[in-house]
Chains A and B, each alone.
Chain A
Amino acid sequence: MISINNVNKHYGAFQVLTDCTTHVNKGEVVVVCGPSGSGKSTLIKCVNGLEPFQSGGITVNGVAVGDPKTNLSKLRSHVGMVFQNFELFPHMSIAKNLSIAQTKVLGRDLAEAEVKGLQLLDRVGLKAHAHKFPGQLSGGQQQRVAIARALAMDPICMLFDEPTSALDPEMINEVLDVMTELAQEGMTMMCVTHEMGFAKRVAHRVVFMDHGRIVEDDSKEAFFDSPRSERAHQFLAKILQH
């Protein structure tokens, strides 16, 4: 589904990604982790072309992301993305947040889009909030709306960029629960996250990054039981202490 091959990216002389290669198969859940500044978020943003890269290739469902001839908007319309800071549109109601891209990008009619939005809102447990504005919801609720908004586009896969990092601790689980349910339904997912509990429960594979390189790319059992690199050892030791 997602194929990343020898991707390199630099800002001027500063190398952000070095020879990154990994694959996400259909129905697979891959967790990307690593210390901050390791390039995880940059890598996941390359997948839907929000960040350009200088060399290598990424294909999503067979479509080359870096190819100038690719219609990126069309590709993105069926690759869902969830951001660290939710990025709901603050000037629109929750219902409008869910319907706007369906009508303007997919060309669905408004009634159909609203029904679909409400169904998904119900699914993340927020149907009663449809008329509110994002500022009136808690962080956890906003992030669940953001997931519903992405799902409304009927995505072929979902990208999560640290979806729980900006949340208060008591709200993390409500978001992770939605993600877990999604994974169990067979959604193809690539998640940048520090939630190792989630990774252990849900992931099929774990990709560990450090200094812009993919250092480990293994099944979650292999990664958590016997990480091969010293760097991953240290990382896990620090994270799992708590």
Chain B
Amino acid sequence: MYEFDWSSIPGALPFLAKGMLVSLEIMVAAVVIGIVWGTLLAMMRLSSIKPLSWFAAGYVNTFRAIPLVMVLLWFFLIVPHLLEQLLGVPRGTDMRLGSAIAGFALFEAAYYSEIIRAGIQSVSKGQMAAASALGMNYWQSMRLVVLPQAFRNMVPLLLTQGIILFQDTSLVYVSALADFFGTASKVGDRDGRLVEMLLFAGAVYFVLCFSASQLVRFYQKRLKTA
């Protein structure tokens, strides 16, 4: 019979907190870059300029057909080499965090762009026509009229995707980056208490993600009644 021993957790909390900061950093950076790039992709996808639309469709379909962990691994292995060769970045520079953020952002942008595309399409065509009729150009119409309405409808979906992304950040363990999950597993190994550590880490992920999704639901309800 396995005997649980939780005594190593209190001492590990400072390390775990540092790891949590890394996880949050990756999430926030990837969400922000992902939404900006995803918005551009969605606009390209909906553009009447065919090559732009083809490019965006190809991008989205490619990234959605590849497992995230592979994308992360590629970025971890390939990007440092590329930077080394192209920009002369010295060999051995630690680019794991940057690579991870870039991998997540480019990957998530594919998912965000589909959410944003649906959001843009949910705004009636007449709104674009009205903006154009007032003399606004495409960018002004999008920025001032269409996107604000699209984003207001999409906020719950974007947040939910952000929560999924937060869970996915644990995949950076493939690059041995010390995120929350990576730190938990390292400390667990060190103290020979891996099971307890991972159970604890799982509980933390659950509490954070569950409360976040409850908040999203609350917001969604308020949005509907407003």
Contact = CB atoms under 8 A, between A and B. Distances in A.
Interface of A: 45, 48, 50, 72-74, 76-81, 83, 85, 87-91, 100-101, 104-106, 149-150, 153
Nearest to A146: B130
Contact of A101 (B127, B129, B134): B134
8 contacts: A50-B129, A78-B135, A81-B133, A85-B126, A89-B145, A90-B149, A105-B135, A150-B134
B132 A76 contact: yes
Nearest to B126: A87
A72 B148 CA distance: 24
B129 A87 contact: yes
B71 interface: no
Interface of B: 124, 126-127, 129-137, 140, 144-145, 148-149, 152
B144 A104 contact: yes
A156 to B, nearest CB: 12
Contacts of B124: 85, 87
Contact of A104 (B127, B133, B140, B152): B140
B20 to A, nearest CB: 36
Contacts of B148: 91
B132 A89 contact: no
Most buried by A among B126, B129, B135: B135
A110 to B, nearest CB: 14
Given A87-B124, A104-B144, 14 more contacts: A50-B132, A73-B132, A79-B133, A85-B124, A85-B126, A87-B127, A87-B130, A88-B130, A89-B145, A91-B152, A101-B134, A101-B135, A150-B134, A153-B135
A105 B145 contact: no
Contacts of A106: 135
A77 B134 contact: yes
Nearest to A105: B135
Contacts of A77: 134-135
